[in-house]
Amino acid sequence: MSEDLRTERKGMLLAVKDLPTLPRVLEQVAKLLEDPLSSTEQVAKLISRDQVLSAKVLKMVNSPVYGFPGRISTIQHGLVLLGYNVIKGLIISTSVFELMTTSMSGLWEHSVGCAMACGVIAREAGFKEPEEYAVAGLLHDLGKVIVSLQLPEAKEEVEQAVAEGDLFYLEAEKKVLGFGHDRVNSWVADHWNLPLNLKVGISGHHRPVSAQHYPKMACVVHVGDFLTRVLEIGSGGEDHVPALDPQALELLGLDLSRLDIVLDAMVAEMEDDGLSMGLG
């Protein structure tokens, strides 16, 4: 594929007028956070003005994914417990969630399952702020949504290549587009000024150990995506389960027996919740 066509498609994907814009509230919140005199209360108040968004964020925050089920009643409480990066990630995911549910069948369920897996893995590995890993899991397939929205014909070609060529979705994307959703995730993360750890998590999960910064974030999402596919939660766009990189497990200090513990915890949490969180 020519470099010109690749560049043209990147431009189409990042066309600001069509890219799902983040709610204006996020831009205002970002400005507020740059002010050293601003308070959590002011940030929470600003987010709370958008009632629909607040309701969706609170619904997700109170799911088992984040470890505080049914205990967070206000945005301010959520900010204090989870931190701004998590709330920002949730606002992004809820703002594109309608697109996710319509663009690819089963993608939202797969994403929520991956978020749950990433939170459990991060806790099992003893990492601080496992909620941030869960947000990266939630957003890891965002690029697929952007492509289906901006280049619907290309998305159909990708799906056809998956079906006819028995390819992984990522292989089909590279064949049709010249790049995969991981690259799109990286562009969008820059476009939306996402924190670097989230950018690495969503753009590096297919080659996790090669990430220059935050490789453990990329490894958690890699393993989370693998487990979600093993448990057949939703659909990432193909029936295959990509291989698990053993170096990713090694970097996380996990072995197969501890992976069993993670799987058991995921199954228990799914049975409790039925993967309904954030839907509707």
Sorted by where each begins, the domain ranges of the chain are 3-273
The pLDDT of residue 14: 65
Residue 118 pLDDT? 94
**pLDDT tens figures, 122-177:** 999 999 888 889 889 988 998 998 888 888 888 999 999 999 988 999 999 999 88
Mean predicted confidence (pLDDT) in 49-63: 79
223 or 24: whose pLDDT is higher?
A: 223
Residue 202 has pLDDT above 90, yes or no: yes
Q: Tell me the pTM.
A: 0.82
Distance between CA atoms of residues 194 and 183, nearest Å? 14
Between 93 and 257, name the one with better pLDDT: 257
The number of C-alpha atoms within 13 Å of 116 and in the hemisphere containing its C-beta is 34
CATH class of 3-273: mainly alpha
